[in-house]
Amino acid sequence: MGMTMSQKILARAAGLPEVVPGQLIDASVDLVLGNDITSPVAIHEMEKLPDALVFDKDKIALVLDHFVPNKDIKSAEHCKCVRQFAARHGITHFYDVGEMGIEHALIPEKGLAVPGDLIVGADSHTCTYGALGAFSTGVGSTDMAAAMATGKLWFKVPAAIRVNLTGKLQKHVTGKDVILHLIGLIGVDGALYQSLEFTGEGVASLSMDDRFTIANMAIEAGAKNGIFPVDEKTQEYLKEHAKRPGTVYEADPDAEYAGEVMIDLDTLESTVSFPHLPENTHLAKDSEDVVIDQVVIGSCTNGRIQDMREAAEILKGRHVAKGVRVIVIPATQAVYLQCLQEGLTEIFVKAGAVVSTPTCGPCLGGYMGILAEGERCVSTTNRNFVGRMGHVKSEVYLASPAVAAASALTGHITDPRRY
């Protein structure tokens, strides 16, 4: 029986000729990732071991990104714990204020994820790196501790759903609309513990930033991971960023899939996810009666340079609606600098937005954009659960940077095609 891309990567990591869905394997990991929230728990657990040493200081990445620059004493203590651990073990890939970025934008940018890798991270959106043809998935902090100490973890091999993309995205329609549409079709548990494998001629029309966004939100469909084939665009990205060669895997022609979903990119429209689940999707054009108080453009889902450009194109020469707060967060220092160099930051400020240093802050209700009771926010983040960005009676509407920017100008959810 043939294997999918994900199954081939897991077989390689386990040293096996083949694996099948449901099989339990012990596999070697290529990168272990943690942030300022999840790493302290992992560090405390790992240091309970009799020989508390990391398996490879070059295969661990620690990124301080959720509550930095530190918002309070507790977050400062968490970051201090990670800093001291990184120094004690000589962790090569440690990223602090001034060098950090939102982890799932920073890791590919730094070239730490390449095709064929098995990557685990103590953050659910670690599945982002599937955009590069890697098998990447989120784990708990205790699993992170075990992986840092041993370089190995056990996995159950997932079955796969093939997502066949045809056509090409229209103006102001992006990867965010693709993944919201998919989650709307299959639900938040539609791919539970399965691999979402994106295929079809439509993949070639997607930018790398589109693919990062789509893979990032695979978890919101319940998936173990999302993965894209490695094509010319992937190779171009890797030439610019990769620190080491990867291994390209392709699904076998006779690979078996648990299901298949067809998405025609030609007909896809701007999509918004209403509270309080990502599966509660509506077209932006049918949602213009929703009045908003805040807009957030950023996060590990949509804080890359394409996202910044998309928002700036709509905001340029215009001003946000009175009473609407707009927060723009470039995902990394490199994206922040590029925004400055391209004049995007000036566009944002003149439009009445604020521009923040890279941080996950508002996405998880941490800081830099907490919502009060009854407030509504259009956000380019990835989750809109009850209380996700603040008060339990606030509301989060997930959308693309284009929808977010257009909505900022009108004060209500707006189809970006009007701009």
pLDDT (tens digit per residue) in 4-33: 999 999 999 999 999 999 999 999 999 999
Q: What is the pLDDT of residue 79?
A: 95
- Between CA 400 and CA 306 the distance in angstroms is 11
**The one-letter amino acid at 371:** L
**Is there a single domain that holds both residue 168 and residue 298?**
no
CATH number at residue 238: 3.30.499.10
Q: What is the pLDDT of residue 50?
A: 82
Contact by Cβ (8 Å): 332, 212? no
- Whether the per-residue pLDDT at 362 is higher than 80: the answer is yes
pLDDT band at 377 (very low <50, low <70, confident <90, very high): very high
Domain closes at, from 229, 263, 297:
263
> Judging by beta carbons within 10 Å of its beta carbon (0-12, 13-18, 19+), is residue 370 exposed, middle or buried?
middle
**Is there a single domain that holds both residue 284 and residue 162?**
no
- Whether the per-residue pLDDT at 154 is higher than 90: the answer is yes
Q: How many CB atoms lie within 10 A of CB 129?
A: 30
What percent of the chain clears pLDDT 70, i.e. is strictly above it?
100
Cis geometry, peptide bond prior to residue 412 (ω within 30 degrees of 0):
no
**Is there a single domain that holds both residue 161 and residue 284?**
no
What percent of the chain clears pLDDT 90, i.e. is strictly above it?
94
Render pLDDT for 118-135 as a digit per residue (tens, 0 to 9).
999 999 999 999 999 999
Q: What is the pLDDT of residue 51?
A: 81
**Is there a single domain that holds both residue 244 and residue 319?**
no
Q: Phi then psi for 80, rounded to 5 degrees?
A: -60, -40
Bridge partners of residue 61, in order along the sequence: 33, 93
Contact by Cβ (8 Å): 191, 221? yes
Among 299, 306, 319, 282, CA closest to 413: 282
Among 332, 115, 101, 58, CA closest to 237: 115
- Whether the per-residue pLDDT at 115 is higher than 90: the answer is yes
CA atoms within 13 A on the CB side of 278: 28
Among 39, 65, 244, CA closest to 148: 39
Domain closes at, from 243, 263, 283:
263
Question: What is the residue-wise DSSP string for 294-361?
Answer: EEEE-HHHH-SHHHHHHHHHHHTT--PPTT-EEEE--SBHHHHHHHHHHTHHHHHHHTT-EE--S--G
Q: What is the DSSP letter of 371?
A: B
Contact by Cβ (8 Å): 167, 262? no
Render pLDDT for 232-273 as a digit per residue (tens, 0 to 9).
999 999 999 998 889 999 999 999 999 999 999 999 999 999
**Is there a single domain that holds both residue 122 and residue 250?**
yes
Q: What is the DSSP letter of 388?
A: T
**Is there a single domain that holds both residue 214 and residue 303?**
no
**Is there a single domain that holds both residue 104 and residue 143?**
yes
**Is there a single domain that holds both residue 101 and residue 243?**
yes
**The one-letter amino acid at 93:** H
pLDDT band at 202 (very low <50, low <70, confident <90, very high): very high
**Is there a single domain that holds both residue 250 and residue 326?**
no
- Span 129-155, average pLDDT: 96
What is the chain's mean pLDDT, rounded? 95
Contact by Cβ (8 Å): 62, 84? no
- Between CA 212 and CA 105 the distance in angstroms is 8
Bridge partners of residue 107, in order along the sequence: none
- Between CA 182 and CA 165 the distance in angstroms is 11
Q: What is the pLDDT of residue 243?
A: 81
Domain closes at, from 237, 263, 289:
263
Taking 3-state DSSP, the helix, strand and coil percentages for the chain, each rounded to the nearest 5, stand at 35, 20, 40
**Is there a single domain that holds both residue 72 and residue 220?**
yes
> Could you tell me which residues come within 8 angstroms of residue 350 by beta carbon, excluding any fewer than 6 positions away?
319
Number of domains in the chain: 2
410 lies in which domain range?
271-418
- Whether the per-residue pLDDT at 204 is higher than 80: the answer is yes
**Is there a single domain that holds both residue 248 and residue 357?**
no
At how many degrees (to 10) do helices 232-241 and 208-216 cross? 90
Render pLDDT for 37-72 as a digit per residue (tens, 0 to 9).
999 999 999 988 888 899 999 999 999 999 989 989
**Is there a single domain that holds both residue 233 and residue 280?**
no
Q: How far, rounded to the nearest angstrom, does the alpha carbon of residue 203 sit from its chain's CA centroid?
A: 18
Q: Which residue has the tokens 């298949």?
A: 260
- Whether the per-residue pLDDT at 1 is higher than 80: the answer is no
Render pLDDT for 287-338 as a digit per residue (tens, 0 to 9).
999 999 999 999 999 999 999 999 999 999 999 999 999 999 999 999 999 9
